[in-house]
Amino acid sequence: MLANQIGYYSLIIGLLFSIYLCAVSIKDFNNTNRNVSPNIITLSFLQLTFVIVSFLSLIFSFINSDFSNETVFNNSHTTKPLFYKISGTWGNHEGSLLLWLLVLTLFIFLFLIKSREQPKKYRILTLLFQQLIIVGFFLFILKTSNPFNYLFPVPKEGLGLNPILQDPALAIHPPLLYLGYVGSSIIFSASLAAVVQNYISKEWGQHIKKWVLISWIFLTIGIMLGSIWAYYELGWGGFWFWDPVENVSLMPWLTLTALLHCILVLEKRGTLTSWVVILSITTFMLSMCGTFLVRSGILNSVHTFANDPARGIFILIFLFILIFLSLGIFFLFHNDNNKNSSNFYWLSKESTILVNNWFMMYFLSVVLIGTVYPIFLDVISAEKISVGPPFYQKLIAPFLAPFLFFMSFGLKLKWIKSKIENKSSLTIFLIISFMLTFFILKDITTELFFYTILISAAFFLLFTTSKELFLKRFNNISQAVAHFGFSLLILSILFNGILSSEIITNIKVGERFNYNKVEIFFEKIEEKKESNFDSIIGYFKITNDKGKVVELNPEIRFYNQPVTITSEADIKTTLFEDKFLVMNIVKSDDYFNIRYQVKPFMVWIWISVLILSLGGLMGLYKKKYEK
């Protein structure tokens, strides 16, 4: 009960701090001191503290199963394990908005203490723009999504959290993801501040790069965790479904990746300033737009929070105010005084980064249009259509091969003007890639032409980046690692897709099922009781065509609050392949429906994303090991 009060009033105080901070900052902006007043940094710290206190109060209420709090009542239950009581705090709409606020206030504080060498007015403006966002979220929470609403009389038990959300990957997925795309707010605010101060320059590029990298690394890992959860938890063995909520996290990643590359150009050559500003604005606007799409109930998705349109209207208006404001500032203040140097020589690193932008913006448009088009069509002509995986695959796949080729060449080009060096080794790599791919694929797929081009492009990138790593050219190792990771990712996804196989059948205890030289033996069932669910575990022995036996034990769980039945797949992971078995109840009889999948190279998908992120991490610490 007390936690409720503390949590609520901390939010009010935090909001008051915003207003006070803005007033103090404006005053400080106009005075002649060279440095930002230390009071401002203290105030920012205090604001962060109060948000943390509020967040901790909510966690406390969840841990204590304090059902006088409406959010806790709606999303928790006394029998939930402690870890999930805690993670349930941010697994709901109100709590996750508190997480938004936490990241927003944290990042501005970190920005202030890590940017002491930057110009004063720029820092203050960044603070002001960030406070605008923070105030918006304070108001949104206090007016429409208060995590501290009272329930009276106090219920004895809560409604519980959907059991498929009770999973470790899903517990840490929101915090990491938010550090990524909410963290892009600081890039947004800093870019607007820099535009107003005409400070978009090499120095600024150098300074902002680490923020872009930090946001990018967290966003990459956050998205990966969401996919890992989908793979382990949802039972169909897939990891990406082009669902609107997934798309909404991918879009800022695309612009953030493009931004990262543009910052490199800005840092080295001082050009592509317009791209940098527009991409900075777009990344955060896409994050906010994503929040709108997911929380307003406008889209049909398994992932959306159950919400009412009133909240949607608030975010929509807030979003468009920010868009108009940022575009207004861009048009008013942006000085594109580098018109001449924007004409890059075609064979240079700058131009490949421009080509990268071109492809990234195309991929972004495919995902964005695919996600929002059904809304437009429905409003304009009341026709409802679906835009599903085939759309995205058909529009993206053909462009991946040229994209990978450009990437391979681009990595080797120098700034300003370049020749293609080592033409012979490149040609050898190209030929090897092609032939290797052809020989691997010719017996296993019918779409030989298409896959050969795509996979050989990925192999080409793999070989060229591996060469960089082998030769230990430390001045660009972060770049090589990241692109190596990316090539590995594409290869893993493609080979996994081509080589995966699946057997679906209904089977009774004691039966054997044979298909394609694979035998599935349903040995027995055991029952188990846990604190918040009962379960049946199936014991299966599966013999593959080479005679090797694997034991898999999928589970069906019967939760009591809320009353749900979930299927927990059993997955045996090796470096070579994953074996995936999931079991479902069939309505009548004592048959069980099972899905057995063999998924080669599955774990390499996660490994390659980690390598990709590692490349980014190495970029952060570049100065320390490169000359």
Partner 1 sequence: MKTLKFFLIISLSIGSFQLKSEEKNDEFKNRILKNIRCLICQGQSVYDSESDFASSIKLIVNKMIDDGMSEDQVYKFLREKYGDWVIYEPELNKNTYILWLLPLLLFMIGGAIMIKKLNFKN
Partner 2 sequence: MKNKLKLIIIFVSLIFCFIIFYKGLDKSNTYTPKTNIEKSLPTFKAKDFSLNTYVNSENIFSEENYYIVNIWASWCVPCRKEHPLLMELNKNQSIKLIGLNYKDNLSNAKKFINELGNPYGQILIDKDGTLAVEFGAYGVPESFLIDKNKKIIKKIIGPINKEIIEEIKLIIK
Interface with partner 2, residue 576, by CB under 8 A: no
Q: Rule CB under 8 A: which of 12-31 touch partner 2?
A: none
Work out whether 331 is an interface residue with partner 2 (CB under 8 A). yes
Rounded Cα gap, residues 100 and 103, in angstroms: 5
Residue 298 engages partner 2 in binding (rule: CB under 8 A): yes
Whole-angstrom distance, CA of residue 120 vs CA of residue 117? 9
Give the Cβ contact number of residue 337 at 10 Å.
Answer: 11
> Using CB under 8 A, which of the segments 198-206, 315-323, 399-407, 506-514 binds partner 2?
315-323
Among 81, 155, 309, 389, binds partner 2 (CB under 8 A): 309
C-beta of 20 vs 376, nearer to partner 2: 376
Q: How far is the CB of 370 from partner 1 (least distance, A)?
A: 7
Do strands 533-543 and 501-507 pair parallel, antiparallel, or not at all (unpaired)?
Answer: unpaired
Interacting partner of 340 out of partner 1, partner 2, none (Cβ under 5 to 8 A depending on kind):
none
Q: Which does 593 bind (CB under 5 to 8 A by kind): partner 1, partner 2, none?
A: partner 1
Positions touching partner 1 (CB under 8 A) are 236, 243, 300-302, 342-346, 351, 354-355, 358, 361-362, 365-366, 369-370, 373, 377, 381, 383-391, 394-395, 399, 502, 516, 584, 586, 593
User: Are 230 and 241 in contact, with CB atoms under 8 Å apart?
Assistant: yes
Q: Is the peptide bond before 153 cis (omega within 30 degrees of 0)?
A: yes
For partner 2, which residue of 63, 323, 498, 620 counts as binding (CB under 8 A)? 323
Q: Contact letters (x/-) for partner 2, 337-376, by CB under 8 A?
A: --------------------------------------xx
Residues present in the chain in total: 627
Interatomic CA distance for residues 449 and 437, integer angstroms: 10
The yes or no reply on residue 291 touching partner 2 (CB under 8 A) is: no
For residue 270, what are the CA distances in angstroms to 191, 262, 475? 15, 10, 20
Decide if residue 563 touches partner 2 (CB under 8 A). Answer: no
CB 287 within 8 A of CB 279: no
One-letter amino acid at 20 equals Y
Rounded CA gap, 457 and 429, in Å? 10
Q: Which of 389, 395, 596 is nearest to 503 (CA)?
A: 596
> From partner 2, partner 1, none, which one binds at residue 327 (CB under 5 to 8 Å depending on kind)?
partner 2
Q: How far apart are CA 327 and CA 430, in angstroms?
A: 44
Selected range binding partner 2 among 90-98, 125-133, 173-181, 317-325, rule: CB under 8 A: 317-325
Q: Is 81 in the site for partner 2 (CB under 8 A)?
A: no
Q: How far is CA 492 from the centre of its chain?
A: 19
Is 300 an interacting residue with respect to partner 2 (CB under 8 A)? yes
Pairing of strands 577-585, 592-600: antiparallel
Query: Which of partner 1, partner 2, none is residue 523 near (CB under 5 to 8 Å by kind)?
Result: none
Residues making contact with partner 2 (CB under 8 A) = 292, 296-300, 304, 309, 312-313, 316, 320, 323-324, 327, 331, 375-376, 378-380, 384
